[in-house]
Structure 1
């Protein structure tokens, strides 16, 4: 597996040389699903200490904080857990992405377009979600990030939980056409050939 971050007393540290084969023990970890934007944190940014100066650091901070709330010590983010300057590691990362999402204890989907709840006339708050409009649902590679993990939760850019793939299954079905009893709703092991 590519390099993984460890949440350690409020900070992050890069944990190198985790097991790379399917027979090795890998500790439980959260994984971030997001769309790339300007100022993404790359592997080298963490190595040289400039990560906090980039706009994409907020997503990494969110994933680490959410992993800690969920009792997970490790988390993984594609932008900065793969050293893209190493051609072999990059190729391995691209070829292994589905397996890494499937092996994650939880996938946190970061929807950058959702920032705050709307207020009703009575002062109560609600999410006005039209998932179809979010970039995350327009990108091809995010489909594997929806299907592979057993647990997928959606969050606003402020880290507020919007729902999970079960509670949002009707909206997800309307966008993707994936029926409710599909790999996107069930662990993949239930769909293996026997």
Structure 2
């Protein structure tokens, strides 16, 4: 499994490969893709141009959020899978449920949702409208990314957090 490792004391990270029992605790991102040119790919991460892509902000967000959650590693499909290799892509698709299931946390990014005020102040009716209207729920992968992880934490466009599914104290949306 290819992961991004946050480098100690910085916002920098590097790709690493870990296998079997050597796979460390990690966070995983569930998100909708932007235009291909905006996302940071496996090959794009190899050069500094990736930092200019809008999708690079997702990597920075994951790196920072993983650090807040005391996790050194995180996984983002756009750059942790070499889509230029059909063998690797097939293996990744077949492993996806397991990878989400084995993650410590899943960050579900609803990048098309902006809220005014605090997420804590939303009513159940407002939650329902927001969640049903998000592109995230229109994807084929949503179900496994929602049910496989131990904890799913939802974030909106400006990286505001909502509630964590799986954390009994916080409830669920």
Q: TM-score, normalised by structure 2?
A: 0.85
- What is the root-mean-square deviation in Å for CA atoms of aligned residues? 1.7
Q: Does residue 1:151 correspond to 2:151, yes or no?
A: yes
Contact 1:40 1:79 in 2 (8 A): yes
Q: Which residues in structure 2 correspond to 1:1-194 (within 5 Å)?
A: 1=1, 3-8=2-7, 9-15=10-16, 17-19=17-19, 21=20, 24-38=21-35, 39-118=38-117, 126-127=121-122, 129=127, 130-166=130-166, 167-169=171-173
Structure-2 separation of matches of 1:162 and 1:33? 15
Q: Over residues 85-131 of structure 1, what are the superposed CA-to-partner deviations in whole Å (9 max), with x where a residue is unaligned?
A: 12211111111000000000000001112234348xxxxx8455421
Contact 2:108 2:154 in 1 (8 A): yes
Structure 2: tracts of 5 or more residues without a match: none
- The structure showing larger relative contact order (alpha-carbon pairs under 8 Å, at least 6 residues apart) is 2
Aligned length: 159
Contact 2:11 2:60 in 1 (8 A): no
- Name the SS of the counterpart of 1:136 in structure 2: helix
Contact 1:117 1:126 in 2 (8 A): no
- Name the SS of the counterpart of 1:158 in structure 2: coil
Contact 2:29 2:108 in 1 (8 A): yes
- Name the SS of the counterpart of 1:50 in structure 2: helix
